[in-house]
Amino acid sequence: MFGKIKNYAVKKVIQSQMKNVPADQQEMIMTMLDKDPALFEKIATEMQAELKSNGNNQMAAAMKVLPKYQQEIMGAMTPEMKEKMMKMQMGAQGRFNPNGSIRR
């Protein structure tokens, strides 16, 4: 019983933190969370510990913790999600020239 309540609470907290994230990416994250909640609980626990040790720098904590779990996160993705991620990465790469200026 408490497991369902805990999962619901975690989802609500994550949704509140993703206000500025595009809806399709929010959906992707929530789907992965539904698929493997234990993985994301483990990541959150490690990130909280890292936040306490590095002075609440969220970006530094994420950069240290998330690479450890890259394979597991990719495993939680559906093939459609993986394809979408590839397109997002390719789109970002295609907007810049080799010297760093923006293509028009």
What residues are paired with 102 via a beta bridge?
Answer: 96
Secondary structure of residue 16 in the 3-state scheme: helix
pTM over 0.85: no
Q: What one-character-per-residue DSSP string does 51-75 give?
A: HHHTTS-HHHHHHHHGGGGHHHHHH
d(CA 101, CA 75): 35
15-72 pLDDT per residue, tens = 787 788 888 888 888 888 888 888 888 988 898 899 888 787 888 888 899 999 999 9
pLDDT of residue 92: 57
Buried/exposed code over 20-54 (b: 16+ C-beta within 10 A; e: otherwise): eeeeeeeebbeebbeeebebbeebeebbeebbeee
d(CA 104, CA 49): 43
pLDDT of residue 88: 75
Per the structure block, which two tokens stand in for 86?
A: 């590839």
pLDDT of residue 26: 85
